[in-house]
Amino acid sequence: MERLRNTENHPFNKSTCQAIARTVFSRTEVNDVHILPGGIINSSIELSLRNPNTQLHLRVYNGEDAEVRASKEKLLYDLIAKHTNVPIPTIYSLDSSRTAIDQIFSLQSSLPGVNLESVCGKLTAEEQKSIAFQVGGYRGQLHTIRFRGFGEEVSKNTLGHAPTWGKFFLEFVSKNIDWCEDQGTIDGNLADNIKNHLLRWQRLLPEDQPAVLVHRDFHPGNIKVQKDRKGKWKISDIYDFEHAIAGHAEFDFAKPYWTFFEPYPQMKESMLRGYNDVNKLSPLFELRMDKLYRLAEISDFLVFGIKRGIASEIAKNLSAVTQVLREDT
């Protein structure tokens, strides 16, 4: 079981959490409050209730774009529940009024299981392959949800406004590179080399693929697993869709290349096989990953490292950028 930290001297103490829980269950009482560890941006809190006897997950959104990210998750969870059988939380309420607390929050069902990140390295090779196959299949289902345009902007009932994937993708990466240059982390020469690389390989960007739901943050930390009655590990929850975009399906494999395939190379074939049972990857998949999608993910990690002042993250991704460009010569 995941270790939880109980606290009474926290902004989200029992009385505060009870007021929040009663926005859904008017007569409930909170037995216990546990602050979940981790969470770089948002706060995650488990509430144990009485009347009804259940657990809720309180997700508190922080940051300037909190309302946008919260609305995006609510929209996407509704679509996923309607069109797939991917295991996700149920959102009971989304409150952006800032009346119960001075933050935006959602109350969600608390699904069983443990974080895959905490157990993946302890699983046997066969268990890892089984989980990877399930991840691939569920991702394939997510990619059956389509949108009219590409991008990350949210409107009332859809996601994305860019007319083509190529337009959105190139602007997305270029914006990251420009920002890194403005911060002084990369110089003008490196920025130009990266943009020239993108232009050289932009022909690989598909023109005829639909805009689909791309999670964009698919890593073991956003997946829960548990054992079934036969002792087999099964995925019980996939979550954290706040950074999702309407994009090209294959782009959703950029993060797994680093978070799954590098530490657990035996999971790659099973994950791709599970995916191909639902949606087919194109013959250009690996080339797109090597020449374009890797670079996009590296630029995102570089921005992340700079914003949070993580020197090791900055150095690692600058080295990765150099390696991508070197492979292109």
- What is the pTM (predicted TM-score) of this model? 0.91
Beta bridge partners of residue 245, listed in sequence order: 214
Last-in-domain residue among 109, 143, 160: 109
CA dihedral defined by 286, 291, 292, 296, rounded to 10 degrees? 110
Q: Convert the pLDDT of each residue in 78-108 to its tens digit.
A: 999 999 999 999 999 999 988 878 889 999 9
Q: Do residue 84 and residue 189 come from a single domain?
A: no
Dihedral sign for Cα 209, 210, 211, 212, please: negative
Q: Do residue 103 and residue 218 come from a single domain?
A: no
- Residues 238, 200: Cα–Cα separation, whole Å: 36
The one-letter amino acid at 76:
L
Last-in-domain residue among 68, 84, 109: 109
DSSP 8-state secondary structure symbol assigned to residue 163:
S
Last-in-domain residue among 51, 84, 109: 109
Q: Do residue 121 and residue 97 come from a single domain?
A: no
**Domains contained in the chain, number:** 2
Which has the closest alpha carbon to 224: 235, 214, 240?
A: 235
Backbone angles phi, psi at 178, to 5 degrees: -60, -40
* CATH code at position 192: 3.90.1200.10
- Collapsed DSSP state (helix, strand, coil) of residue 159: strand
Q: Are strands 29-35 and 5-6 parallel, antiparallel or unpaired?
A: antiparallel
Q: Tens digit of pLDDT per residue, the chain (329 long)? A: 343 445 555 677 888 899 899 989 999 999 999 888 766 788 899 999 999 999 999 999 988 899 999 999 999 999 999 999 999 999 999 999 888 788 899 999 998 899 999 999 999 999 999 999 999 999 999 999 999 999 999 987 889 999 999 999 999 999 999 999 999 999 999 999 999 999 999 999 999 899 999 999 999 999 999 999 999 999 999 999 999 999 999 999 999 998 999 999 999 999 999 999 999 999 999 999 999 999 999 999 999 999 999 999 999 999 999 999 998 86
* CATH code at position 67: 3.30.200.20
- Residues 128, 122: Cα–Cα separation, whole Å: 9
The one-letter amino acid at 240:
D
Note down the domain range covering 257: 114-327
